[in-house]
């Protein structure tokens, strides 16, 4: 199957090497490893010890960052009596 057809396949979920995954998330490589150790990201470890990350897992992590903030109301915009 040609690569353009493969990428359009609904079940296509490529695994990115760790450095590419860090670049995709706009993180430093060591930050990606820290997130992995904290079990914030699912990882695929090869027999040789190399780490890869599924694109769907990276996107799911990004989605968690886009959720509504759950902090105290003090962090909301102040009402200056306008």
Q: Are 35 and 68 in contact (CB under 8 A)?
A: no
Residue 56 confidence class, pLDDT cut points 50, 70, 90: very high
Give pLDDT tens digits for 5-52: 555 666 789 999 999 999 999 999 999 999 999 999 999 999 999 999
pTM: 0.69
Q: For the chain, give every domain's residue range.
A: 13-62
Q: Are 52 and 17 in contact (CB under 8 A)?
A: yes
Counting beta carbons within 10 angstroms of the beta carbon of residue 15, is it exposed (0 to 12), middle (13 to 18) or buried (19 or more)? middle
Q: Are 11 and 5 in contact (CB under 8 A)?
A: no
Residue 1 confidence class, pLDDT cut points 50, 70, 90: very low
């Amino acid at each position: 199957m040609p690569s353009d057809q493969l990428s359009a396949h609904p079940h296509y979920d490529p695994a990115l090497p760790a450095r590419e995954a860090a670049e995709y998330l706009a993180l430093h490589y060591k930050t990606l490893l820290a997130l992995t150790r904290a079990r914030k990201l699912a990882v695929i470890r090869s027999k040789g010890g190399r780490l890869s990350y599924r694109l769907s897992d990276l996107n799911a992590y990004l989605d968690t960052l886009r959720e509504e903030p759950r902090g105290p109301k003090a962090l909301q915009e102040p009402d200056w009596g306008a």
